[in-house]
Chains A and B, each alone.
Chain A
């Protein structure tokens, strides 16, 4: 079945450092969504990517969808303590919704 692998599983960074998480699919995706979940909280929608090679920015966050629509990345520039949480991607392919396992980000002040 379709799977979405997300790497890394954990990342600790010093405040001010950059951070990137990747989602990789074995099959082509129709779109990909990114969510953030704070510790003890619920997932909150960040962005959706639909087009091949699409790049979207939200302040310090940059989202990219691969040319083959099989992978995606989320890059945070100059992390802040408010960025702490788990970042999930969701694949919306033929097998309904599949969540990536998430990357847990810890930012050290």
Chain B
């Protein structure tokens, strides 16, 4: 039982490049989330998925797209990376959307040059 896993752990991109951050959970949770955390700051919600087949915008969705591939997997895509997207990205999952405990993955550290 791995909980929430994220790949990659680290990534360096050049401005304009694209990439997809992967997230998977094995807890049979319905809801999944993507957050970003900037240095010394709290977490901000980018997108979330209340259940398989649905996605919704969070606080800071611009510049990102998401896909809820199945119940286990929720990916975050940067189509054209910008230096302002340098951050640590956390994926999380929970049983019920926006109500219950969230379980976080270890994070992906992204640097955009």
User: In the complex, what residues of A have CB within 8 A of residue B84's CB?
Assistant: none
Contact B42 A99 (CB under 8 A): yes
A99 to B60, CA, bound (A): 13
Q: How many residues of A contact B (CB 8 A)?
A: 20
Chain B proximity mask over A61-80: 1 for CB below 8 Å, otherwise 0 = 00000000000000000000
Contact B105 A96 (CB under 8 A): no
B57 to chain A, nearest CB (A): 9
Contact B48 A31 (CB under 8 A): no
User: In the complex, what residues of B have CB within 8 A of residue A98's CB?
Assistant: 45, 59
Contact A42 B42 (CB under 8 A): no
B98 at interface by CB-CB < 8 Å: yes
A48 to B104, CA, bound (A): 16
Q: With contacts defined as CB atoms under 8 Å apart, how many contacts are there between chain A and chain B in the complex?
A: 49
User: In the complex, what residues of A have CB within 8 A of residue B107's CB?
Assistant: 42
Please pick, from A6, A44, A45, A99, the residue contacting B43 in the complex, using a CB distance under 8 A.
Answer: A99
Assuming the contacts A42-B104, A96-B48, asked whether A102 and B42 have C-beta atoms less than 8 A apart, the reply is yes
A101 at interface by CB-CB < 8 Å: yes
B90 at interface by CB-CB < 8 Å: yes
Chain A proximity mask over B56-77: 1 for CB below 8 Å, otherwise 0 = 0011000000000000000000
Please pick, from A30, A31, A45, A101, the residue contacting B102 in the complex, using a CB distance under 8 A.
Answer: A45
Contact A88 B103 (CB under 8 A): no
| Sample of 6 more A-B contacts, CB < 8 Å, known A97-B98, A99-B44 | A42-B106, A48-B100, A90-B102, A96-B48, A97-B58, A99-B45
Q: List 28 A-B contacts (CB under 8 A).
A: A30-B99, A41-B106, A42-B90, A42-B105, A42-B106, A43-B43, A43-B90, A43-B92, A43-B102, A43-B104, A48-B101, A88-B42, A88-B43, A90-B102, A92-B98, A92-B99, A96-B59, A97-B45, A97-B58, A97-B98, A97-B102, A99-B35, A99-B42, A99-B43, A99-B44, A99-B45, A100-B42, A101-B41
The chain A residues found within 8 Å of chain B, CB to CB, are 6, 30-31, 33, 41-45, 48, 88, 90, 92, 96-102
